[in-house]
Amino acid sequence: MLAGRKGVITHAFPATNVSVEPARNYEIAPKEIVRLMRDFRTAGLEFLGIYHSHPNGKNEPSARDIELAFYSEEAYFIVSPHDDAPQPVRAFHIRDGRASELEIRIVQ
Ligand SMILES: [Zn+2]
């Protein structure tokens, strides 16, 4: 999960993928989400996004990613581990069953 301040992501917090098919889907245990949200608040950070990878296939939201996207304001980052991926990291807003790609800006 990703957090930061004033809309700028500054911290990445790994979470365990508890999906029964971790190569195809991801799922974070609700308990871990609650714990991370509490850590964010304690650290004065805002929850800004979620990242996961697509080891097989393109790094764009799958039907299941869209179905299970519960956070309509936060960004969903999808990473490709493949050397030939045109955009190794992509980000999307997912709301009302639709994904729209976001522009990623790196700030110093
Ligand atoms: Zn996915």
5-57 residue pLDDT tens:
999 999 999 999 999 999 888 999 999 999 999 999 999 999 999 999 999 88
Gap from CA of 83 to ligand 1 centroid (Å):
18
H-type helices in 3-104, by residue range? 30-42, 63-67
Distance 63 CA to ligand 1 centre (A): 8
* 3-class SS of residue 41: helix
CATH of 2-102, one of 3.40.140.10, 3.40.50.300, 1.20.1260.10, 3.40.1530.20: 3.40.140.10
Token duo for residue 60 = 């764009």
Expressed in angstroms and rounded, the spacing between residue 45 Cα and the centre of ligand 1 is: 25
Give the contacts of 15 (CB within 8 A, at least 6 positions apart). 1, 28, 32, 33, 36
Report percent pLDDT > 70 for the chain. Answer: 100
Q: What was the pLDDT predicted at 23?
A: 86
Q: What's the 98 CA to ligand 1 centre distance in angstroms?
A: 14
Cα-to-centroid distance, 57 and ligand 1 (Å): 10
